Structure 1
Amino acid sequence: MATLKWGILSTAKIGRTQVIPAIQRSGNGEVVAIASRNQQTAKEAAEELNIPRTFDSYEALIDDPEIDAVYIPLPNALHKEWVIKAAEKKKHVLCEKPVAVTNEELEEMIIACEKNSVVFMEAFMYQFHPQHQKVKKLIHEGVIGDVAFMRASFSFYLEDRSNIRLNHDLGGGSMFDVGCYSLHAIRNILEQEPVSVYASAHYHPELNVDTTMTGTLNFGNGIVTSFDSSFDCASREQYEVVGSKGNITITSAFRPDTNEGMIGEIHVKTDEGTEVLEAAGDQYTLMAENFANAVLNKQSLFYDTTKMRNQMKVLDAVYESSKTGQVISL
């Protein structure tokens, strides 16, 4: 079987602990190199993860003709530079979320990737877990009746105020870091795009990034939704869909991979009672395999550039609304 040869740009924790091991578990990919601007850091990561080759610069890695694709877990503000540079070297690109910090940045990336005929995807791994497909099926079957409301939340308490997630210049903020999942989940589960956005946020007075954000997406059809994200609140990662006959709650919406057996629980409550359904899946590996199949076998991406554009459009509008206090039409 053909395999996709991956290079990893940086030794970021998400790559070391989640994405690299997932690619190594996959049936169609292998990690052949990792780069860091600190050669010793690259060597330590390579030794820890059994990666055969290291580079002391990102440029050197993307120059290597043996590497087919790169995974980019760099700080948000560096995504555009390295997505475009990788594309120009004919490398397929899987980039961490949020893929960009503005609509304009994303368009530049997409243009570069299309010009160079490379596959490009944002790493929203949670959507590959089968629990979400099961939720959609329950909704389509009318188990909870007509959907009237949905809320999605993702937060964790970030005590270290020097953390990169709070660095404005590098694209920090709770919405960029975890709130983007809440926005994505609402649009993904409802399978609709909003017509307007309203958001409100607490911006740290010294760091100038949002540490808590909340708001609503208006779909123009009577369905009310709310989202929130925070670095000031205790850990939550859940969503709830409420209909005329019942509700569905997902308690490990975005990181069910941390549960035993990578199991996600789907709590379904109707007039007939409460039922807890289970779905298991390796979301990071499923993402890596989908990406590799798109490159190797020309299969469709589960998450393509049209969906990426729609997500970025909403994310951009959320920030605009939080800063202006205005409802932003989409």
Structure 2
Amino acid sequence: MIHAHNYNHQIEQAELVAVCDPNEAAAKKAANLLKLTTYYTTYQEALSNDTIDAVIIACPTKFHKDIAVAAANAKKHIFCEKPMAMNTEECDEMIEAAERNHVKLQIGFMRRFDESFQTAKEMVDAGEVGDVVLVKSLTRGPSKPQEWMYDISISNGPLGEVNSHDIDTMRWFSGSEFKTLFAVGGNFRNKEVKDRYPDFYDNVVMNGVFENGVLGSLDGAQYVQYGYDARVEILGTEGIITIGDIHETTVLSCAKNHSVKRPARKSWTNLFKDAYLAEAVSFVKCILNDTLPKATGMDGKMAVHIVDKGNESLKTGTVIQLGEGIH
């Protein structure tokens, strides 16, 4: 609905014409909220509408590939939320279908469109902290996982659902691809599902080395409950850049019992509100101007590749050598 509201009200060069959900009650409710006259319960129906030029795919990851390929074959431009797909083979199918049908394919890495992240990238590129030595990125979410997320075979775990953004951030700031990685994790907050989902983890740390020698460190967690936490450090040879903090506002209170209070951020929705809008504007512009999206299918594929190898490291307890050939 974040995407829907943006396209419905705030982008002059785009018009939201329909919503689609297999749950008809949900589709009808969304259409009513958005004051739309059209809703669909199958994506095939939606894609048969010749007035639709582009689609936004925001559903569980296991459905991304089929919808994206069908959309490309229907000559619709595609914005696909992260994670791009379940594996790199599915990513390749999506990229090939988009290229064959001459449509745009953009992946939902909205942090690339956040003003703070863009400013930090400009500082890195200008050499303000010297050569980049380490990119450290963390994302911790407050919500309890939905049932399907416990099944690593269909969710790819927190590395996919939560930390795809961190993986893309690390690639973006390092300017390189992972060469080696090692991940450890465990289920600390959802122990009631251990018997049913023994491979599930709600906390993960993944460290690695990029091909250009830059070090990478990822910290991810689900159901932390204290709030939404997304922060980045870029350490250079001559300084450091930090992005983000844990606080919702700048308001801080000190009471007579000597306690200090400052509210933690509750959700990612307000933190990246402007970034989601900028992301949507950029998608429309790349269609109208026939330019390359700022978060491409290859960016999505590389994140999926690292998620897959990170999960392999978690399962085997070994350092993964990524080698060449995936670029």
Could you tell me the TM-score, scaled by structure 2's length? 0.81
Q: Which residue of 110, 113, 122 corresponds with 1:128?
A: 113
Does 207-216 or 76-85 show the bigger shift?
Answer: 207-216
Q: RMSD of the alignment, in Å?
A: 2.4
Q: State the 1:100 CA deviation.
A: 0.7
Q: Higher strand fraction: Structure 1 or Structure 2?
A: 1
Q: CA 1:252 to 1:30, structure 2 compared with 1: closer, same or farther past 3 Å?
A: farther
The aligned amino acid for 1:296 is: L
In the aligned structure 2, how far is the partner of 1:63 from the partner of 1:134? 41
Tell me, yes or no, if the aligned pair for 2:138 and 2:220 is still in contact at 8 Å: yes
Aligned residue in 2 for 1:116: 101
In the aligned structure 1, how far is the partner of 2:96 from the partner of 2:134? 37
In the aligned structure 2, how far is the partner of 1:301 from the partner of 1:313? 20
In the aligned structure 2, how far is the partner of 1:113 from the partner of 1:304? 11
Asked which structure has the greater RCO (Cα within 8 Å, sep 6+), the reply is 2
Q: Is 1:38 equivalent to 2:23 in the alignment?
A: yes
Q: Secondary structure at the match of 2:183?
A: strand
Q: Which residue of 298, 302, 308 corresponds with 2:294?
A: 302
In the aligned structure 1, how far is the partner of 2:27 from the partner of 2:60? 17
1:136-175 alignment runs, 5 A limit: 136-159=121-144, 162-168=146-152, 170-171=154-155, 173-175=157-159
The aligned amino acid for 1:175 is: L
Aligned residue in 2 for 1:313: 305
Deviations 1:75-118 (A, max 9, x none): 01111111112222221111110011211111111122222222
Q: State the 1:282 CA deviation.
A: 2.1
Q: CA 1:245 to 1:21, structure 2 compared with 1: closer, same or farther past 3 Å?
A: same
Tell me, yes or no, if the aligned pair for 1:150 and 1:225 is still in contact at 8 Å: yes
In the aligned structure 2, how far is the partner of 1:283 from the partner of 1:66? 27
The aligned amino acid for 2:150 is: L
Aligned residue in 2 for 1:241: 234
Q: Which residue of 181, 184, 189 corresponds with 1:200?
A: 184
Deviations 1:198-251 (A, max 9, x none): 111225633233322111120255432210211143432111112233322111
Tell me, yes or no, if the aligned pair for 2:231 and 2:242 is still in contact at 8 Å: yes
Aligned residue in 2 for 1:23: 7
Q: Which residue of 186, 190, 194 corresponds with 2:170?
A: 186
Q: Secondary structure at the match of 1:184?
A: helix
Q: Is 1:93 equivalent to 2:78 in the alignment?
A: yes
Q: Which runs of 5+ in 1 are unaligned?
A: 1-15, 263-280
Q: CA 1:252 to 1:189, structure 2 compared with 1: closer, same or farther past 3 Å?
A: farther
Could you tell me the TM-score, scaled by structure 1's length? 0.81
In the aligned structure 2, how far is the partner of 1:19 from the partner of 1:140? 30
Tell me, yes or no, if the aligned pair for 1:154 and 1:229 is still in contact at 8 Å: yes
Aligned residue in 2 for 1:104: 89
In the aligned structure 1, how far is the partner of 2:286 from the partner of 2:211? 34
The aligned amino acid for 2:286 is: A
In the aligned structure 2, how far is the partner of 1:127 from the partner of 1:211? 25
Q: Is 1:229 equivalent to 2:229 in the alignment?
A: no
Q: CA 1:38 to 1:305, structure 2 compared with 1: closer, same or farther past 3 Å?
A: closer
Tell me, yes or no, if the aligned pair for 2:176 and 2:211 is still in contact at 8 Å: no
Q: State the 1:182 CA deviation.
A: 1.2
The aligned amino acid for 1:292 is: V
1:69-88 alignment runs, 5 A limit: 69-88=54-73
Q: Secondary structure at the match of 1:326?
A: coil
Question: For this pair of structures, how many residues does the alignment match?
Answer: 293
Q: Is 1:52 equivalent to 2:32 in the alignment?
A: no
Q: Which runs of 5+ in 2 are unaligned?
A: 188-192, 247-264, 323-327
